């Protein structure tokens, strides 16, 4: 069974509310995420995982309009939402994608899945890509089920974030983390969407490649290198880690 991508989405972002439905060229941010995930050759399907809150109804409706199955669960206990979404999908392996990464690269998804296939870990990740291009984490469902059992319901940090407990216990969970190829190892670049300046950068990139939506991670990096005035727009935006 091929892995299922679970796209994690919400509407109440603090820094840019409703960011996942913000316009992006002829689409919206979430639309780009879905489209680029569907370009992967290794995925067996894509589902959207959002909360049961009424404010998220619009996300469920949007996903349905793209024929994407929707699972709705806890707002704050994202870990349990992932576990239940995985069980609901019948997947043994899931690929964690966040809806604020509209340029997530299909070839990175495939490389991460290939790493999982070779190493058979509980967690697989390729580090070093620009933030937002390589935001792809492959998770063994049995491992996140175990985390869900071990982490107390009141441990907000571990329940809100899906992978930290795995990463902090490498003696108990098998991790496979590799470095991106040299030409794409550019962690100083940022193409996720957390703030208005981030959205401006992503819009400039998508406008350049329009109508294509299949551009690669390398092409994005090449564009930013040739257009440094775009790359510096969100240079000082800090990545939120908690």
Distance CA 55, CA 185 (A): 37
The answer to whether residue 241 scores a pLDDT higher than 70 is no
pLDDT tens for each residue of 182-228: 999 999 999 999 999 999 999 999 999 999 999 999 999 999 999 99
CATH 3.90.1640.10 given to domain 4-231: no
Quick one: CA torsion of 16, 20, 23, 26, rounded to 10 degrees? 160
pLDDT tens for each residue of 156-190: 889 998 999 999 999 999 999 999 999 999 999 99
Write b or e for each residue in 120-130: b if 16 or more Cβ atoms lie within 10 A of its Cβ, otherwise e. ebbbbbbeebb
pLDDT value at residue 205: 98
Residue-range domain boundaries for the chain: 4-231
């Amino acid at each position: 069974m091929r892995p299922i991508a679970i796209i994690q989405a919400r509407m109440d972002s603090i820094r840019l509310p409703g960011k996942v439905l913000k316009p992006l060229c002829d689409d919206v941010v979430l639309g780009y995420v879905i489209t680029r995930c569907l370009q992967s050759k290794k995925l067996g399907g894509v589902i959207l995982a959002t909360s049961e809150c009424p404010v998220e109804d619009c996300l469920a409706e949007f996903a349905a309009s793209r024929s994407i199955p929707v699972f709705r669960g806890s707002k704050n206990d994202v870990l349990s939402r992932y576990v239940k979404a995985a069980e609901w999908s019948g997947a043994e392996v899931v690929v964690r994608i966040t809806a604020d990464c509209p340029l997530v690269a299909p070839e990175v998804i495939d490389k991460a899945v290939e790493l999982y296939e070779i190493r058979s870990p509980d967690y697989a990740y390729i580090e070093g890509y620009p933030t937002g291009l390589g935001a792809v984490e492959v998770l063994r469902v049995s491992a996140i089920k175990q985390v869900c059992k071990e982490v107390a319901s009141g441990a907000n940090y571990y329940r809100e974030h899906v992978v930290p407990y795995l990463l902090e216990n490498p003696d108990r969970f098998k991790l496979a983390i590799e470095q991106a190829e040299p030409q794409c190892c550019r962690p100083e670049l940022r193409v996720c969407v957390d703030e208005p300046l981030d959205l401006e950068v992503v819009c400039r990139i998508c406008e350049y490649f329009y109508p294509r939506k299949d551009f690669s991670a390398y092409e994005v990096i090449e564009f930013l290198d040739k257009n440094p005035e775009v790359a510096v727009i969100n240079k000082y935006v800090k990545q939120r880690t908690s």
